[in-house]
Structure formats: C-alpha cells, structure tokens
C-alpha cells in the first residue's frame, strides 16, 4: 500500500499534464478526435492551429510548483532561533509590509443590497441594514423638474399621469436626446403619496457595476394578497448626474457616492508631462554626468594634491553652469507666451488654454481619439429622402407628398360622409389583395401613416404661465397647440421622422402608454390603440408596433429597421438593396418601413403565445424573440427613408487634413454600430476606397480568436468594433488587438462606456509609445480627455464639463486643424531651439572656464565673478535668447496648405541626442576659440583677459541667436540691440569686475585701452573666427541638404 504512494506528487502531476499535452498534440491524424472548440473558455489547447500568441501559464505553474516544493520543505524543518537568523526576519518584515500595503490599498467590497420601504419596525437603525447610510439624502428623494438627480435611484412615482417621465443623460452617456423612464407600477398606482410610508415593501438591487445601460433588481410588496413581485430593469432607474426633463419624480436611493454609475465611470486625473520635457530631462542628466566627469578629470590632472576632495567640489561649483538652471524658467515663460498666442489667434476665436505646461504636445500627436455626437456631428437630424420603389422624393419635392396626403384624406372622408356603412369592406378587400397595383397617392399615404405610427416618440407640451389649478382642463386646452409642442424620443432619428410627417400634414398630437392620436391635414383626429410595442435593440436592429384603428377596428403590424435586418422579412423586391447602397454613399441613415395587416384571430393567437413567452423563467429572451419572429414574415414593403445627421462645419476637410498629416483617427462613441458606421462614411473618416471590417459580436476566447484571425487577413481596411467585443478581446488578446488595430487607417468603437474610452487611450500609450490626443464635448468624455497626453474639449450642447476638464478648449471641431498644424508646430520648434540654446549658453562659458583653469595649472580659480555670471544669463543674453519664441520656420498659411509637413515633427528630429551633440561640439569649439584667442592676442596685456574674453563671448552669443533665427521679427532686432546696449553701458559701471580676481589684485578696467582700435579689431577677429565657420556650414547644409519645408518657402 505504502509502495504505491508517489513520493513527489507535484512531479507526478507535472508528468501527467505533460502526457496530456503530448497526447493532445500527437492526435493530428485525419480521424483523430480532439476536445470540442467551445468546451472551456479558458482552455487554449484547441486554438493551436491559429497564429495568435498563446499563454503558457499552465506550463509555467507546473514547473514552478515542482521547484518550490523542496525549498518549502527545507524551510519547514528549521525552527526557533535558527529559522529567524537564516532568513525568518526577512519573511516577517516582508509579510508585515505586504499586510500594511493591503490594508492601505484595500477597496470596500461592493455588495448587493435590500432597501425597505415603509414599516419602520423592519429597520433596526436609522437607516435599514445593508442599505444606504448617507446623511445627505433621505431614503426617499423628491426631485422637481429640471433638477439634477443626486444619487442612483429606483423610480417609484411621478406626477405624470402616464406613469413615465423623460430624463436628460447628456452628462452620463453623451447623447442629447431624452430617455423615457417608467415608474414601478405598484407604487405609481398608490392613491396618495403618503402611502409609500405605510406599505410593507422592499427593493432588491444588484451590486454596483460600471455598465450604465443595464440593471437587475426586483420590487416586492409583502402586505398585499397575493404578494406583488415586479422585475426592475434599466427603464426603472434614475442614475446620478442625469436631469429630470418632465414632471417630478420620487425615488428610493440605492447607490450613493463612489457606488454611483457616474462616479464609477470617471477616473482620477493625472499630472501631464510633455514629451519635450522628458527629452530635456534626459539631456540634463547627461550634462550632469559630463559635469562630474570634467571635475574628476581636472582633479586627476592636478595629481590629487592636498585635499583633492575640496578641489573636486570647487570644480563642481565652477563648472555648474553646464547644468542649465535657467532652462526651466525660459521654457515656462515660453509656454506661457505660446498659450497667449493661441488665445489671441483670430482664426480660432474662443480658444482657451487651460494647461500651460504641454503646448508642445500639439506638435507631436500620432493618434487622435474623438467622440461622435456633438463633436463630429451637430446631432440634428434632417429628413432628406423617401423612396417608394418606383418613385423617389427629395427635399425639393416634399410639396408633392403633402398634396398626395391631403388628397388621400379628403377622398377618404368624402367617401365616409357619402356612404359611412360601406366604407370599411372595400378597405379590407384592398388590404387583403396586395397584388392589385395601388396608385402613387395611396402608396405615399400608407408610407406616411406608417412613419407617423411606428416610433417611440412622445409629444411634450410646456405648461402655460399662470395655470395652477384644474390641470386636466389646462392639458385639454394645450393638447393641439403647435407652438407649445416638442417631440422627445430616445433617438433623434425618430424625432426627425415625426417632424417630417408633421410638415407633410400628418401630425402626432398625443401619446401615452396605450394610445396615440394623429391629426390629419383637414383637422380630424385619428385615434390608434397601441396593442404591443417591440423596442429597438442592437441585436434585432429593428422596432415594431401593433396598433388598432379605433374608427375601423383594423389591426396593423408596422415595423421599421436597418436594411440588413429587414431585407429577409419583406416580400421579394429588386430595388431595396441598390437604393440602400445609393443612400449610404450619400451619407444618409436609412430605415426600411414595412407593414402587415392582421385579423382579430391572428392577433389573439399571437397575444396568447407572446404573454406565455414573457412569463417563462428559462430562456425568456429567446422565446419572446421566436414568437415575434412568427409575425415577421412576408411583410409588405412600404418605403425606404433617408435621414441626414448634420456634421459640424468643415469636418470633412479637417479630417482629411489630419489624415494627410499622418495622424490616425479613432472614433469612440456610445452610439449604435450602424449610426457610427454611417457617420464614419459621411464624415470621410473612412475614405470611399477603403473597406470596412465590422467585428462580429464575441463573448468567449474562442470566438475572439477566430474573429481576430479573420481580421488579420484583411489589408488596409477600417475596423468597426463594439464595446462588448472590445472588452472580450482586451481580456485575452490585448497585445494582438492593439497590434492589428494600430495598422488600420481608421478605427470606430461603438457602444463605448466612459471607462472603456479611457482604457483605449491608455492601451495606445502603453503599446505604441506615441502621443495621443482626445477630443470630446460631453461629461462622458472627461475620462478619455484626462487620460490622453493632450485633451481638447469642445463647448457644445452637452455643457462645459469636457471643456473645463480639458487642456485646451475650442468652440468648433474645425479649429483643431490650425491648433495642431500651426500652433503645435511653432510651439515644438521654438521650445526645441530655446532649450538647446540655453544649454549651449551654459556649455560655452564652462568650456572657457575649463581652458582658463588648464592654463593656470588646473587651479580652481573662477574666470568671471560676481555680477558678470549673473548678468550673463539675465541682462546680457536673456532677451535675444528668449526672442526665439517668436521664430517660425513655415508661415501659418503654408503649414495649413501642406499638412504633410507635420509628419516630420512626430519623428522628434528637432530635439534629439544627435542635435544635442552638435550643439555640444559647437560650444566646445567656440569656448576654446574665445579663450585661446584671448590668450594669444593679448599676451602683453594679459591683465585684461576677462574684459576681452567676456566681450567676445557676448558678441558671439548675439551672433549665434541671429544664426539660429529662421524668420526675423522686429522684437528680435530690438532684443539684440537692447542687450548689446546694456553690456556697453555696464562696462563703465562694473569696471572692478573686468579683471583677474577682485579689486585686491589691483586689476581695474582701462577705459582708454578699450576704446582703442587694437582692442576692437582683436575682439572682432576672435568673434569672427568663432562664428564664421558656423555660418559657412549652415549655408552649405541648406544648399546640399535643405529641409523639406524650404522648397515650399522658396
């Protein structure tokens, strides 16, 4: 028995695992059976034939367990003091540190909760157990109209008679259209408001989650017979940061503070540091190493005589000008100047610079991530086209539709008044005989009526001032007043359709949960009873309604949806697919409208099956969808509609400019896939010659693997992916998805939550290392804007939340072109030149100090003292060097006309180790020439070496500024002469500084000598020798290897 027990069970487990793998991979024959493809989601063995990177965690775990087991056994044998001395103290310290870190970083676990209503004896404390403990809000919260909802609530009761209200969610999901919310029916039916405190009921809510589009909960009332159980969904919730748009609401608080959806979908802002600052930091570190190395060399050449460490520190202080202390001051002042120039630009009025530390980032961007609604589009829909198969109507022929509708209803009512009894049978015969060709007028009338009935739009009437009591009469008085009516729906497309039917004569005047009323051109009111509503979903891509005409008792099933979903439902036709393609190429959003007449028996049969499917516990969604699909057969195709979502001004040329500049544009939106794809085409985000690969919905690792391989085989095509599929791919194949997506010319991500937008930004930053820019206009874009290297906010209809959180605020999307091409380019080029020149200014004077010390037997004696060292970096060279912030290599008009010039900026060639080494060599050459020239030419008057070399140094710096400038500005000339004048004036006042050592050495300035011709020509000779070769080299470089922009400026 004991002999059968393995001594090393882990080794045995590893061997078994390896045998299983060997058996799996050896089963490669044609008849070999392998495990099913989707048996286990995390099992990666079945994906071996696909070329994606696979995780080998399982193999690593087996080996690591085998190696760590003997080590653990050895530790177990040691006890007491021996164990503590041999490493136990390390284990104890590590454990204590880990425990403290876990305590500090521990997050409160999110839990589901039950909130009781009424019956205070159920509550053991002031607030119910496992519910909200927040002193700011009561459990019940009353919110009047046009007020922001303070916390996440379940909607219990409203002042609206229909039991529903509208809320605005623009600060949560970025959509400006209103959303319909429905109160819990049990609490809405209570006779009085105070009954909420007397019932015995509770709300069960799931634990807080990120998803703003879903919610699961239940409402239970125990004191009724039988007990009432209602399921709660997203339509029964009121999320924080949304606004009540109609009526007043009362809700029970379920989530507050950090548990609300709005807070969970926001991220903490980060401190943004520009790429130029990081590059200058690296160069400063290199200069520090050069400082230490130079000081050590000087001490070594001294021979380490005496207290050498004291001399080492003295040399560190003497050469400290190598470290450009004034660099930070100059750069910050330059950035403030760039921000002032941006805000003063008349071509981009209203632009605000809120972060003055990263203007250079505007010139280094590679990825631009943009929102859709309100950023690229105005979110204003306009009805453009109605196609009936044989005839098409555009914006210029809408009057014909209006006349057809008027004729149809006038004929109908003339027949009804002439022969009221026999008016119904002919209409039934007509509807039951579709083979009879209808007239154009009747077809137009049927299409307009279908569009006016098949929707979820609600007309809203604003209350008149002064109306307080008798609300019922007031409502009746307002019912059909056109000036007070506005339409609200969850989709702006549907509002545009209903507004169009109003313009052609058929007006929606009233609607509640069970009926709707239409007004004909003649003023008659048609009432329709809503029997069933089938809302739009991203899976079905269509919505439908079953209505009964109160006048004729006819039952009709109307349906509209995307052409992909409707083409298999409607009767055979030969024009639908072609016309849908034509409208899509025009940038229109298409909807196919169809109908089917039902008899009373057909509807009763459907209703019984539909009610039974809704009561099922298992697979409810599938059963309901199957019952609805039984009606969706051989429907009569009525029309095809085209609606245009108006783009912002100059969106197309701006996107074209950015694409030519080498910037890859990603569109991240919370809208539907079809809408996002349509806007990507109409805005030319995806060019007409490019294909679009729509990533299929995936839910498991295997499906994601297959779809990624399908996408890998595509070349030069844009990617369209939904947020759910993106989440699955990021979980298992983050690296592969990023690699494939970054190769695409454009990417569209739809149904993205705010946190997903921020995660995509961080993914691009980590995987590519390139600079990213995010632009949006709503509160749902704040996380993305704060996560990007450069955030731009647009002041739009969705408020100023994005604008206030951004680094730069603009008023229109088209302004981003000039912001990047002109100001981004100028800021980067100017800061690069300014930073390197400040480093050169410190290196040249340190080189002169090194030469001076070498001549004096490596003595640690300062060459310049006191005010000279201070004035060198301030009064004498400050203005000319800082005037480089006015320099420009390309005119703004040229930069806008040729955006291809922007591509060179992303390569970072204006500031690199190559250009830095060039400036170091220039500094060493000029410093050596100035110092050795002063020693050679002034051998007889060596006492004046300070005045001589310092004068030549100032002249050299002024000439080097002139050499660096590309385009002269009048302020640059003023700065040059002002600095030269300050230096000449200081010669008379600071004569004690222009000598070797202090006054105690007796070295005073000889004014008579400085005014001689000998002094002037010798200083001029040194200056010419130090600068003339550089001018010659610059001329030759421009002739032999000119920059790309020089061909345009010539």
Concatenate the DSSP letters of all residues of 536-562 into one string: --TTT-EEEEEEEETTT--EEEEEEE-
Determine what percent of the chain is predicted with pLDDT higher than 70. 80
Q: Name the pTM for this structure.
A: 0.71
pLDDT band for 418, please (50, 70, 90 cuts): low
Task: Pick the closest to residue 584 from 686, 712, 442, 701 (CA basis).
Answer: 686
CA distances from 1038 to 887, 961, 1043, 1044, 1045 (A): 18, 18, 7, 11, 11
Per the listing, tokens 């070399």 go with: 949
pLDDT band for 423, please (50, 70, 90 cuts): very low
The two tokens of residue 382 are 């306009």
**Residue 362 pLDDT > 50:** yes
Task: Pick the closest to residue 819 from 779, 790, 776 (CA basis).
Answer: 790
pLDDT band for 137, please (50, 70, 90 cuts): very low
The two tokens of residue 754 are 């705010």
Among 165-174, 318-327, 936-945, the range scoring the smallest mean pLDDT is 936-945
The two tokens of residue 446 are 């049927």
Please report the pLDDT score of residue 631 as a whole number: 87
Please report the pLDDT score of residue 823 as a whole number: 95
Q: How many CB atoms lie within 10 A of CB 299?
A: 22
**Residue 107 pLDDT > 70:** no
Q: Give the residues across from 645 on adjacent strands.
A: 381
Q: How many CB atoms lie within 10 A of CB 165?
A: 24
Task: Pick the closest to residue 383 from 593, 539, 105, 179 (CA basis).
Answer: 593
Give the dihedral sign, CA 199/204/209/215: negative
Determine what percent of the chain is predicted with pLDDT higher than 90. 33
**Residue 590 pLDDT > 90:** no
The two tokens of residue 162 are 């229909």
Task: Find the helix or strand (DSSP H, E) in which 975 lies.
Answer: helix 970-989
What's the rounded Cα separation, in Å, for the pair 817 and 351? 13
Identify whether the C-beta of residue 859 lies closer than 8 Å to the C-beta of residue 997.
no
3-state secondary structure of 415: helix
What's the rounded Cα separation, in Å, for the pair 797 and 371? 14
The two tokens of residue 116 are 């009781």
pLDDT (mean) for 723-734: 90
The burial of 109, by beta-carbon neighbours within 10 Å (0-12 exposed, 13-18 middle, 19 or more buried), is given as: exposed
Residue 663: phi and psi, rounded to 5, are -90, 125
What's the rounded Cα separation, in Å, for the pair 500 and 502? 5
Higher pLDDT, 541 or 296: 296
Kindly give the interhelix angle for 734-742 and 723-732, rounded to the nearest 10 degrees. Answer: 120
Task: Pick the closest to residue 925 from 960, 876, 965 (CA basis).
Answer: 960
What's the rounded Cα separation, in Å, for the pair 565 and 543? 10
**Residue 992 pLDDT > 80:** no
- Beta pairing, strands 485-488 & 458-461: antiparallel
In tens, the pLDDT along 313-322 reads 999 998 988 9
pLDDT (mean) for 535-563: 88
Task: Pick the closest to residue 427 from 530, 555, 527 (CA basis).
Answer: 555
Tell me which DSSP letter residue 86 carries.
I
pLDDT (mean) for 213-230: 84
Angle (CA) 350-777-181 rounded to 5° is 140
In tens, the pLDDT along 830-857 reads 999 999 999 999 999 999 999 988 887 8
What's the rounded Cα separation, in Å, for the pair 974 and 891? 22
Among 219-228, 428-437, 526-535, 711-720, the range scoring the smallest mean pLDDT is 428-437
In tens, the pLDDT along 4-52 reads 434 333 344 444 444 444 444 444 444 444 444 334 344 444 443 344 4
Residues 6+ apart with CB under 8 A from 156: 117, 140, 183, 184, 187, 188, 196, 250, 251, 252
pLDDT band for 1008, please (50, 70, 90 cuts): low
The burial of 589, by beta-carbon neighbours within 10 Å (0-12 exposed, 13-18 middle, 19 or more buried), is given as: buried
What's the rounded Cα separation, in Å, for the pair 640 and 596? 16
3-state secondary structure of 251: strand
The burial of 215, by beta-carbon neighbours within 10 Å (0-12 exposed, 13-18 middle, 19 or more buried), is given as: buried
Please report the pLDDT score of residue 110 as a whole number: 81
**Which residues are catalytic, by number?**
371
In tens, the pLDDT along 442-458 reads 889 999 999 999 998 88
What's the rounded Cα separation, in Å, for the pair 206 and 213? 14
pLDDT (mean) for 234-254: 89
Mean pLDDT, all residues of the chain: 80
**Residue 612 pLDDT > 70:** yes
Among 405-414, 451-460, 549-558, 925-934, the range scoring the smallest mean pLDDT is 405-414
Task: Find the helix or strand (DSSP H, E) in which 528 lies.
Answer: strand 525-534
What's the rounded Cα separation, in Å, for the pair 842 and 320? 9
Please report the pLDDT score of residue 7 as a whole number: 36
Please report the pLDDT score of residue 81 as a whole number: 63
Residues 6+ apart with CB under 8 A from 653: 814, 817
Residues 6+ apart with CB under 8 A from 676: 372, 667, 669, 720, 748, 750
pLDDT band for 420, please (50, 70, 90 cuts): low
Task: Pick the closest to residue 532 from 449, 631, 427, 601 (CA basis).
Answer: 631
**Residue 470 pLDDT > 90:** no
Please report the pLDDT score of residue 272 as a whole number: 86
Higher pLDDT, 155 or 179: 155
3-state secondary structure of 96: helix
Identify whether the C-beta of residue 552 lies closer than 8 Å to the C-beta of residue 424.
yes
Per the listing, tokens 């950015």 go with: 658
- Beta pairing, strands 717-722 & 746-750: parallel
Task: Pick the closest to residue 451 from 575, 595, 303, 576 (CA basis).
Answer: 595
In tens, the pLDDT along 738-796 reads 999 999 999 999 888 888 899 999 999 999 999 999 999 877 788 899 999 999 999 87
In tens, the pLDDT along 1022-1048 reads 999 999 999 999 888 888 878 777 777
pLDDT band for 3, please (50, 70, 90 cuts): very low
Residues 6+ apart with CB under 8 A from 147: 243, 244
What's the rounded Cα separation, in Å, for the pair 142 and 161? 17
Among 174-188, 274-288, 350-364, the range scoring the smallest mean pLDDT is 174-188
What's the rounded Cα separation, in Å, for the pair 253 and 829? 55
Tell me which DSSP letter residue 88 carries.
I
**Residue 523 pLDDT > 60:** yes
pLDDT band for 978, please (50, 70, 90 cuts): very high
Concatenate the DSSP letters of all residues of 106-119 into one string: PPPPP--EEEEES-
Cis peptide before 226 (omega within 30 of 0): yes
């Amino acid at each position: 028995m004991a002999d059968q027990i393995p001594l090393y069970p882990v080794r045995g487990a590893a061997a078994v695992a390896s045998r299983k793998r060997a058996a799996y991979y050896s089963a490669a024959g044609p008849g070999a059976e392998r495990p099913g493809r989707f048996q286990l989601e995390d099992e990666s063995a079945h994906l071996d034939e696909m070329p994606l990177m696979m995780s080998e965690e399982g193999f690593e775990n087996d080996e690591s367990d085998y190696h760590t087991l003997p080590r653990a056994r050895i530790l177990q044998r040691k006890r007491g003091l021996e164990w503590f001395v041999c490493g136990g103290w390390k284990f104890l310290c590590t454990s204590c540190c880990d425990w403290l870190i876990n305590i500090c970083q521990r997050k409160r676990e999110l839990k589901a909760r039950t909130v009781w209503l009424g019956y205070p004896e159920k509550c053991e404390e002031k607030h119910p157990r496992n519910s909200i403990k927040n002193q700011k809000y009561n459990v019940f919260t009353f919110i009047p109209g046009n007020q922001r909802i303070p916390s996440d609530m379940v909607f219990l009761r409203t002042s609206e008679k229909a039991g529903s209200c509208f809320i605005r969610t623009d600060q949560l999901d970025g959509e400006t259209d209103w959303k319909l919310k429905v109160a819990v029916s049990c609490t809405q039916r209570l006779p009085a408001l105070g009954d909420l405190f007397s019932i015995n009921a509770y709300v069960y809510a799931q634990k807080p989650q990120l998803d703003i589009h879903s919610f699961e909960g239940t409402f239970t009332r125990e004191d009724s017979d039988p007990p009432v159980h209602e399921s709660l969904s997203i339509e029964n919730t009121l999320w924080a940061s949304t606004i009540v748009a109609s009526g007043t609401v009362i809700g029970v608080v379920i989530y507050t503070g950090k548990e609300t959806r709005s807070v969970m979908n926001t991220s903490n802002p980060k401190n943004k540091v520009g790429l130029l600052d990081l590059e200058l930091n690296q160069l400063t570190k290199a200069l520090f190493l050069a400082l230490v190395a130079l000081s050590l060399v000087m001490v070594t050449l001294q021979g380490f005589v005496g207290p050498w460490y004291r001399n080492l520190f003295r040399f560190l202080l003497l050469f400290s000008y190598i470290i450009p202390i004034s660099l930070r001051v100059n750069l910050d002042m330059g950035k403030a100047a760039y921000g002032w120039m941006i805000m003063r630009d008349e071509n981009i009025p209203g632009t605000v610079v809120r972060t003055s530390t990263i203007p250079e980032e505007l010139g280094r961007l590679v990825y631009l991530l943009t929102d859709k609604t309100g950023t690229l589009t105005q979110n204003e829909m306009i009805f453009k086209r109605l196609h009936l198969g044989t005839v098409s109507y555009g914006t210029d022929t809408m009057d014909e539709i209006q006349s057809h509708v008027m004729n149809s209803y006038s004929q109908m009512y003339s027949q009804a008044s002439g022969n009221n009894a026999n008016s119904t049978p002919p209409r039934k015969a007509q509807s039951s005989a579709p083979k009879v060709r209808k007239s154009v007028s009747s077809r137009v009338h049927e299409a307009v009526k279908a569009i006016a009935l098949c929707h979820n739009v609600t007309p809203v009437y604003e209350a008149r001032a002064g109306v307080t009591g008798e609300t019922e009469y007031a409502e009746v008085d307002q019912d059909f007043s056109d000036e007070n009516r506005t339409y609200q729906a969850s989709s702006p497309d549907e509002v545009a359709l209903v507004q169009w039917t109003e313009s052609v004569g058929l007006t929606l005047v009233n609607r509640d949960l069970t009926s709707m009323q239409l007004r004909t051109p003649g003023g008659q009111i048609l009432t329709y009873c809503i029997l069933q509503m089938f809302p739009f979903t991203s899976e079905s891509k269509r919505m439908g309604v079953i209505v009964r005409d109160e006048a004729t008792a006819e039952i009709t099933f109307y349906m509209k949806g995307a052409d992909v979903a409707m083409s298999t439902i409607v009767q055979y036709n030969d024009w639908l697919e072609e016309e849908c393609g034509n409208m899509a190429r025009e940038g229109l959003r298409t909807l196919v409208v169809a109908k089917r007449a039902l008899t009373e028996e057909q509807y009763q049969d459907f209703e019984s099956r539909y009610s039974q499917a809704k009561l099922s516990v298992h697979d409810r969604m599938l059963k309901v969808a199957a019952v609805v699909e039984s009606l969706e057969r051989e429907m009569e195709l009525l029309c095809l509609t085209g609606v245009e979502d108006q783009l912002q001004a100059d969106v197309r040329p701006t996107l074209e400019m950015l694409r030519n500049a080498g910037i890859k544009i990603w569109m991240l939106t919370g809208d539907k896939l079809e809408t996002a794809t349509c806007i990507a085409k109409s805005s030319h985000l995806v060019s007409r010659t490019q294909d679009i690969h729509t990533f299929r919905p995936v839910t498991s690792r295997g499906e994601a693997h297959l779809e990624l391989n399908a996408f890998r085989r595509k070349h030069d095509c844009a990617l369209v992916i939904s947020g759910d599929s993106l989440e699955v791919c990021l979980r298992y194949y983050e690296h592969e998805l990023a690699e494939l997506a970054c190769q695409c010319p454009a990417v569209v991500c739809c149904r993205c939550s705010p946190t997903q937008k921020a995660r995509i930004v961080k993914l691009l930053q980590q995987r590519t290392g390139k600079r990213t820019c995010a632009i949006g206009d709503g509160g749902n874009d704040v996380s993305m804007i704060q996560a990007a290297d450069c955030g731009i906010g647009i002041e739009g209809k969705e408020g100023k939340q994005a604008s206030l959180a951004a680094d730069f605020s603009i008023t229109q999307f088209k302004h981003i072109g000039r912001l990047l091409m002109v100001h981004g380019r100028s800021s980067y080029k100017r800061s690069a030149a300014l930073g390197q020149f400040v480093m050169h200014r410190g290196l040249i004077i340190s080189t002169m100090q090194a030469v001076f010390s070498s001549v004096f037997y490596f003595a640690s004696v300062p060459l310049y003292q006191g005010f000279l060292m201070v004035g060198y970096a301030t009064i004498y060279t400050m203005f000319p060097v800082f005037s480089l912030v006015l320099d420009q290599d390309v005119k703004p008009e040229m930069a806008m006309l040729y955006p291809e010039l922007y591509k060179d900026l992303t390569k970072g060639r204006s500031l690199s180790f190559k250009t830095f080494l060039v400036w170091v060599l220039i500094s060493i050459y000029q410093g050596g020439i100035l110092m050795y020239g002063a020693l050679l030419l002034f051998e007889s008057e060596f006492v004046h070496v300070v005045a001589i070399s310092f004068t030549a140094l100032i002249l050299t710096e002024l000439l080097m500024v002139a050499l660096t400038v590309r385009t002269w500005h009048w302020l640059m000339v003023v700065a040059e002469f002002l600095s030269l004048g300050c230096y000449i004036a200081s010669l008379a006042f600071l004569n004690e500084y222009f000598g070797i050592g202090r006054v105690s050495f007796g070295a005073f300035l000889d004014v008579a000598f400085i005014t001689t011709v000998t002094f002037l020509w010798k200083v001029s000779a040194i200056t010419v020798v130090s600068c003339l070769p550089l001018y010659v080299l610059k001329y030759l470089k421009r002739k032999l290897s000119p920059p790309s922009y020089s061909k345009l400026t010539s």
